């Protein structure tokens, strides 16, 4: 393809995008440096940051394929709508930190910008607007290549400055010190260089295209298909036990399905001319498309079992939403393949429809139509009311802190129940684990007193090498109760004969009915996080029942030999793989 040679237009585009990048840099400096120092209201800060992120990301992506002035309304309109939705959703929480801590606000914003940008670009560029799939497909990948290339160039720019600074330091000239002394200069340089790189990549679009990447991705189709077919073929013989109650299993299934969706889309390319034509590879694409609904259905089943066991949480609601989207893709793809005639065209059109569905779902998640905190809190309360969950398993921290105002409202209603009131009183007495003022030696001393240890005495100084966030997690688990003791226990022993090192198996009630495990090592009198725990009977990813911890509290754990020393609890064995 010939290089674009309109020098005047190229120069103009460089100035425009460099200017846009500089303005974006100024906005970033204000949002991340100046305004926080000035004490801006956190909610106003969140709204401004959301608007700026959407506006400048979309504007910088659109300018090049489109001119600046026509692109402005699309960038500004999306930014205003998204910022309004974010502000609306943030009112579910007393603090912005609590709102952002649930992940879904950031995920929804990112998806809106990711999908809206190529749609706006196609609307500006193609005669058929955003419904023109060939243009939509091509612009989506070109935008990704432009941004990735520009980010690499920015990294190289700062690397060159660092090297130049090291050279000039030899003659007592501090280049980086000079840049840092002018407060917004680093932000301006980053934004300006990023915009300039976007312009140059657009100029060289005939040479730097996404088609090499797309052709390479096609090669993964038979590999992924083979893995998926092997999994589905073995599933009837191995059973569904690995899926039951394990959200991580659902996440693996969804990741595989999303990867398959991307590969099918890549293989079918922009139109019938560019799509894969090799007969055997084309059949692989069809088979992979038929496998997607099966993966989506299995993921939905795994999540549904988990919800039946432990109720709704925002994370499970997110997982179900993703699983429904994946299943929607799968049904559309599978139906198109089974229809045979024009199946590739049907899949391309389904991609447009599903993109709009995802945009709508993001808006719903940020609107009062779906409030995950309220759904989760009411679900846990309903489980308590029906007797499915005892008072000691109520997620008090989630209700009082993580799930915002809806969680607190449900907790206030539950407080009228005597058993819950007593549980809240006990939790408040042990809530110092969550007190951010408890740090250093005080935190280690409190944990050493709370954590039962089998095989050694635990001194506070043995915890000196562990991060405070990790210690808080342990102390939070210890504040929970199981039959026979706290929700934590550490077993120290010489699991590997011949090594003068004691290793540890730490069991933690990370959440009600969720028992986690961690491998440790005791070196030079200090505990360190090393390796992972292997359970030889069920595999290291199998969910643990709290009964394992209760058995340890009853003294039923035994250290015994296998190929090496293992911890035996009933018919289950554990060892730290360090």
Provide CB contacts within 8 A for 3, sequence distance 6+. 203, 204, 206, 207
The answer to whether residue 495 sits within a structural domain is yes
pTM of the model: 0.77
- Together in a domain, 446 and 494: yes
CA angle 535, 519, 399 (to 5 degrees): 95
Residue pointed to by tokens 């560029």: 125
Token pair recorded at residue 192: 């300006």
The answer to whether residue 1 sits within a structural domain is no
Token pair recorded at residue 281: 């590879």
The answer to whether residue 540 sits within a structural domain is yes
Question: Pick from 513, 280, 473: which is nearest to 383 by CA?
Answer: 513
Question: Residue 392 and residue 420: Cα distance in Å, rounded?
Answer: 8
Token pair recorded at residue 544: 């643990």
502 in the Ramachandran plot: left (φ > 0), alpha (ψ -120 to 50) or beta? Answer: beta
The answer to whether residue 434 sits within a structural domain is no
CA angle 47, 49, 52 (to 5 degrees): 110
- Together in a domain, 172 and 244: no
Confirm if 123 and 88 have CB atoms less than 8 A apart.
Answer: no
pLDDT digits (tens, 9 = 90+) for 104-121: 999 999 999 999 999 999
Residue pointed to by tokens 């109760």: 481
The answer to whether residue 435 sits within a structural domain is no
Burial status of residue 87 (CB atoms within 10 A of its CB: 0-12, 13-18, 19 or more): middle
- Together in a domain, 514 and 542: yes
- Together in a domain, 220 and 187: no
- Together in a domain, 149 and 61: yes
pLDDT of res. 1: 39
Question: Pick from 374, 262, 357, 363: which is nearest to 317 by CA?
Answer: 374
- Together in a domain, 446 and 392: no
DSSP-assigned states of every residue in 336-351: HHHH-TTHHHHHHHHH
- Together in a domain, 400 and 471: no
Chain centre to alpha carbon of residue 299: 17
- Together in a domain, 361 and 376: no
Question: Residue 50 and residue 54: Cα distance in Å, rounded?
Answer: 6
CB atoms within 10 A of CB 493: 19
- Together in a domain, 358 and 446: no
* SS3 call for 553: helix
Element (H, E) at 566: strand 565-569
Range of the domain at 92: 7-209
Domain boundary, last residue among 209, 225, 248: 209
- Together in a domain, 522 and 471: yes
Question: Residue 251 and residue 315: Cα distance in Å, rounded?
Answer: 11
The answer to whether residue 490 sits within a structural domain is yes
Give the residues of the chain that fall short of pLDDT 50.
Answer: 1-5, 245-247, 432-433, 538-541
Question: Residue 277 and residue 544: Cα distance in Å, rounded?
Answer: 48
- Together in a domain, 145 and 193: yes
The answer to whether residue 219 sits within a structural domain is yes
For the chain, how many structural domains are there in total?
A: 4
pLDDT of res. 296: 95
Domain boundary, last residue among 348, 365, 382: 365
pLDDT of res. 469: 81
Question: Residue 216 and residue 267: Cα distance in Å, rounded?
Answer: 10
- Together in a domain, 152 and 203: yes
The answer to whether residue 2 sits within a structural domain is no
Residue 501: phi and psi, rounded to 5, are: -135, 135
Residues facing residue 535 across a β-bridge: 574
Domain boundary, last residue among 429, 457, 473: 429
């Amino acid at each position: 393809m010939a290089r674009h040679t309109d020098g005047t237009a190229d120069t103009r585009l460089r100035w425009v995008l460099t200017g846009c990048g500089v303005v974006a840099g100024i906005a970033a400096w204000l949002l991340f440096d100046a305004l926080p120092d000035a004490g801006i209201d956190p909610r106003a800060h969140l709204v401004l940051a959301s608007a700026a992120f959407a506006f400048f990301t979309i504007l910088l992506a659109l300018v090049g394929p489109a001119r600046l002035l026509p692109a402005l309304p699309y960038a500004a309109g999306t930014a205003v709508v998204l910022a309004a939705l974010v502000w609306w959703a943030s009112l579910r929480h007393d603090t912005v930190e609590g709102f952002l801590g649930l992940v879904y606000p950031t995920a929804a914003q990112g998806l809106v910008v990711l999908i809206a940008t190529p749609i706006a670009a196609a609307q500006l560029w193609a005669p058929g607007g955003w419904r023109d799939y060939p243009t939509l497909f091509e612009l989506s990948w070109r935008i990704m290549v432009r941004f990735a290339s520009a980010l690499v160039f920015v990294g190289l720019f700062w690397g060159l400055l660092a090297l130049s600074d090291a050279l000039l330091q030899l003659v007592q000239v501090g280049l980086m010190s000079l840049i840092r002394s002018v407060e917004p200069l680093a932000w301006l340089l980053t934004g300006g260089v990023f915009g300039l790189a976007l312009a140059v990549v657009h100029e060289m679009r005939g040479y730097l295209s996404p088609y090499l990447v797309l052709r390479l991705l096609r090669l993964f189709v038979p590999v992924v298909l083979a893995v998926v077919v092997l999994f589905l073929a073995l599933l009837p013989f191995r059973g569904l036990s690995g899926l039951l109650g394990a959200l991580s299993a659902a996440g693996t299934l969804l990741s595989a399905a999303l990867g398959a969706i991307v590969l099918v889309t890549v293989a079918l390319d922009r139109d019938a001319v560019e799509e894969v034509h090799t007969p055997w590879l084309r059949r692989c694409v069809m088979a992979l498309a038929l496998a997607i609904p099966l993966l989506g259905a299995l993921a939905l089943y795994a999540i549904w079992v988990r919800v039946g066991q432990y109720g709704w949480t925002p994370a499970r609601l997110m997982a179900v939403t993703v699983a429904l989207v994946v299943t929607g893709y799968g049904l559309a793809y599978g139906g198109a393949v089974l229809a045979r005639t024009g199946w590739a065209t049907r899949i391309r059109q389904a991609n447009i429809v599903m993109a709009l569905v995802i945009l709508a779902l993001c808006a719903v998640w940020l609107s009062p139509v779906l409030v995950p905190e309220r759904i989760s809190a009411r679900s846990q309360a309903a489980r308590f009311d029906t007797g499915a969950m005892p008072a000691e398993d109520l997620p008090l921290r989630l209700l009082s802190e993580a799930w915002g105002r809806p969680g607190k409202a449900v907790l206030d209603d539950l407080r009228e129940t005597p058993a819950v009131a007593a549980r809240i009183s006990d939790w408040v007495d042990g809530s110092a684990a969550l007190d951010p003022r408890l740090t250093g030696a005080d935190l280690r001393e409190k944990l050493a007193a709370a954590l039962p240890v089998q095989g050694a005495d635990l001194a506070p100084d043995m915890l000196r090498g562990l991060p405070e966030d990790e210690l808080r997690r342990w102390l939070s688990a210890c504040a929970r109760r199981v039959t026979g003791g706290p929700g934590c226990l550490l077993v120290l022993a010489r699991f590997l004969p011949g090594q003068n090192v004691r290793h540890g198996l730490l069991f933690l009630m990370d959440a009600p009915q969720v028992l986690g495990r961690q491998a440790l090592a005791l070196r030079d009198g200090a505990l360190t996080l090393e390796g992972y725990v292997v359970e030889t009977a069920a595999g290291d990813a199998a969910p643990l029942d709290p009964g394992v911890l209760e058995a340890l509290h009853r003294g039923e754990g035994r250290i015994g030999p296998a190929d090496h020393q293992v911890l035996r609890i009933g018919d289950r064995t554990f060892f730290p793989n360090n």
